[in-house]
Chain A
Amino acid sequence: NTLTPEQKRKIEENRLKALARRAERLA
């Protein structure tokens, strides 16, 4: 069950967006 490079890229992008949102909430 391996992910395609595009899926990996999307996941990393969503992870970074979520981290930014978390930081925003904590600010």
Chain B
Amino acid sequence: YGFTANQNQVFNLIKSCSLAEGISVQNLRTALKYMSLYDIRNSLQFLINEGHIFSTVDENHFKAT
């Protein structure tokens, strides 16, 4: 897909989550300790814009399409 390393890490985590409501931003932060919240948010925004992920029960939970 031409993802950056950050986008790829975020996408893979979202894709691997099997919860009905998807993965929370808090869980992403815990799993991606070395990544800043700014970078996580940027990656999420890119993935949303490209239609790879979507928000679920609220704006802090995401699943992959």
Select A22's contact among B20, B21, B50, B57, beta carbons within 8 Å: B50
Q: Is B52 an interface residue (CB 8 A)?
A: yes
Number of A-B contacts (CB under 8 A): 46
Chain A residues with Cβ below 8 Å from B19 are 1
On whether the beta carbons of A19 and B51 are closer than 8 Å, the reply is yes
On whether the beta carbons of A21 and B56 are closer than 8 Å, the reply is no
Chain B residues with Cβ below 8 Å from A19 are 51, 65
CA distance A16 to B19 in the complex (A): 18
On whether the beta carbons of A23 and B51 are closer than 8 Å, the reply is yes
Report B16 CB to chain A, min CB distance, Å: 17
Chain B residues with Cβ below 8 Å from A22 are 50-52, 65
